[in-house]
Amino acid sequence: MKSVIVEEPCYYRVRRSQILYFQREIARWIKRFGLKDWRICHDVQHDEECFARTHIDVLGRVATVVLSSPWADPVTRKQLRRTAFHEAGEILFARLAWLAKEIDEETHAVVRRLESAFLEE
């Protein structure tokens, strides 16, 4: 019987200097996008699914940008800059995404009313 060697994935811890660089990049893009009315919070959490994610409170205009650590890929300044740009973009479009979801939910509610009004026997 052959033995199977299962390789454990290699992870790269995000260093403090990289976290600070990422936060500066977020601040730079927030400023360039003109999002001065948003409060930006930062956190670092273990998440193997993505480099970072942003939790957004659209009505309160508060965004918490969560940088993942460790990463499955080597942590580079280029990837940190790209990830910061992406997360700042998520904040830039957050209100539009929220409004689109609200419109979609309201559309379904109106269609249900129409079904009740026109198709109920």
- Ordered by where they begin, the domains of the chain are 16-94 (3.30.2010.10)
CB neighbour class for 20 (10 Å; exposed up to 12, middle 13-18, buried from 19): exposed
Spell out where 46-103 has E strands.
52-57, 62-68
* Cβ-based burial of 78 (10 A; exposed 0-12, middle 13-18, buried ≥19): exposed
| pLDDT at position 72 | 80
Tell me the whole-structure pTM to 2 decimals: 0.80
Bridge-based pairing state of the strands 52-57 and 39-45: unpaired
Q: For residue 29, count other CB atoms closer than 10 A to its CB.
A: 19
Q: Is the pLDDT of residue 31 over 70?
A: yes
As a whole number of angstroms, the distance between CA 102 and CA 6 comes to: 46
- Using one digit for the tens of pLDDT, what is the confidence trace for 39-88? 999 999 988 788 899 999 999 999 999 998 888 888 899 999 999 999 99
What digits encode the pLDDT tens for the residues 85-102?
999 999 999 999 999 988
Residues 6+ away with beta carbon under 8 Å from 70: 11, 12, 13, 14, 46
Query: Are the C-beta atoms of residues 63 and 94 closer than 8 Å to each other?
Result: yes
CB neighbours of residue 41 within 10 Å: 11
